[in-house]
Amino acid sequence: MAEKTLKERIIDTALRLFEQYGYHGVTVDRIVTESNASKGGFYHNFKSKDELLYHIHDVFITYVLNKAQDAYKNYHTPTERLCAIIQSFVKVFHLYKPHITVFYQESTYLKPEYSQKINEKRDEFKQVIFQVIREGIIAGEFRPELSVEITGMSIIGMVNWTYKWYKPDGPMTIEQIAAHFIDFILHSILTEEAKQKAENSLFFLETQTNVI
- Identify whether the C-beta of residue 168 lies closer than 8 Å to the C-beta of residue 97: yes
Q: Is 13 in the site for DNA (CB under 7 A)?
A: no
The CB-of-187 to its own copies minimum distance in angstroms stands at 4
Q: State the SS3 of 90-114.
A: HHHHHHHHHHHHHHHHHHHHCCHHH
Minimum CB distance to its own copies smaller for 26 or for 37:
26
Minimum CB distance to its own copies smaller for 38 or for 196:
196
* Nearest-angstrom CA–CA distance, 62 and 102: 15
Question: Collapsing DSSP states into helix, strand and coil, what is residue 172?
Answer: coil
Minimum CB distance to its own copies smaller for 37 or for 61:
61
Q: Is 45 in the site for DNA (CB under 7 A)?
A: yes
Minimum CB distance to its own copies smaller for 11 or for 17:
17
Q: Is 39 in the site for DNA (CB under 7 A)?
A: yes
* Window contacting DNA (CB under 7 A); options: 27-35, 62-70, 90-98, 119-127: 27-35
Minimum CB distance to DNA smaller for 5 or for 207:
5
The amino acid that residue 173 corresponds to is T
- Identify whether the C-beta of residue 141 lies closer than 8 Å to the C-beta of residue 77: yes
Of 195, 158, 194, the closest CA to residue 178 belongs to: 158
Of 33, 41, 40, the closest CA to residue 6 belongs to: 41
Count of chain residues binding DNA (CB under 7 A): 20
Contact residue for DNA among 1, 2, 40, 157 (CB under 7 A): 40
Question: Which residue ranges make up the site for DNA (CB under 7 A)?
Answer: 5-7, 24, 26-29, 36-41, 43-45, 48-50
